[in-house]
Amino acid sequence: MPVGQRLCETGRWSYRATDNVRFLKLSERRVMTNVILLGPPGAGKGTQAKTLADRTGLTHVASGDLFRAALREGTELGMLAKSYMDRGELVPDEVVIRMILERIQQPDCASGVIFDGFPRTQEQARALEVALADHNARIDAVLFLAVPQDVLLRRIAGRQTCRTCGAIFNIYYFPSHRPGICDACGGKLYQRSDDSIETAQHRLDVYFAQTMPLIEYYQRQGILHEIDGQREIALVTEAMLKALSPYLAPAQP
């Protein structure tokens, strides 16, 4: 078996670190903090992930962005993922993990990563842990944005987007001054088809059924930090930064 083609068993699937994927030696990095950001649809996870990345210097790695970039660029992993999607099948965890590991070897991830959108299940969490441990890395903290379901429903179902500039409003929390008209550019506001009450409820039901076991899994490990996500955006950010502060301390020389 060629060097670097060691098989790592993770329960229900296997990951091969082939010679085509050359990783940096994570142990040589001075500081590396890996954080997972969890939160249901409507919790503001995307907004907070970008803000945290700016404030901490960690790199925001969103699984959805990785897929879109890989498909757009036609990479080997992107085409492999596309082959599953074209058949209407879920992309296997092995492929997603390979994408993530390829991404975090890049120089901009040297200080650490904020994982957004992955893992979604306990199986994926264990697979990620095994893959990271194989490269002398680990998950240091998990932040869970907790928001009551009734608030989430209003956030999702009340969302309106400008067709012209993409500005986002909410009829319950921050409506436009003129109904249906964008304050920024005067464009027409619309509601996405997947933002209806029925669709929003289904998305939340699926999320909590899938993710609650994952939350309990990290809670048992003692690395889960629950953040009140219904407060003002700035207050939520500060609470998350406070939870992360022990992991972001400068390394000793």
Concerning whether 30 is annotated as a catalytic residue, the answer is no
* Residue among 192, 220, 231, 242 flagged as catalytic: 192
Angle between helices 197-221 and 149-157 (to 10 degrees): 140
Torsion angle, alpha carbons of 95, 100, 103, 104, to 10: -140
Distance CA 18, CA 35 (A): 26
* Residue among 82, 120, 126, 138 flagged as catalytic: 120
Q: How far is CA 136 from the centre of its chain?
A: 21
* Residue among 45, 98, 103, 154 flagged as catalytic: 45
Concerning whether 203 is annotated as a catalytic residue, the answer is yes
Distance CA 97, CA 121 (A): 13
Concerning whether 98 is annotated as a catalytic residue, the answer is no
Concerning whether 188 is annotated as a catalytic residue, the answer is no
* Residue among 98, 154, 155, 159 flagged as catalytic: 159
Concerning whether 120 is annotated as a catalytic residue, the answer is yes
Closest CA to 247 of 101, 139, 146: 139
Residue 127 phi/psi, 5-degree rounding, is: -65, -45
Active site residues: 45, 120, 159, 192, 203
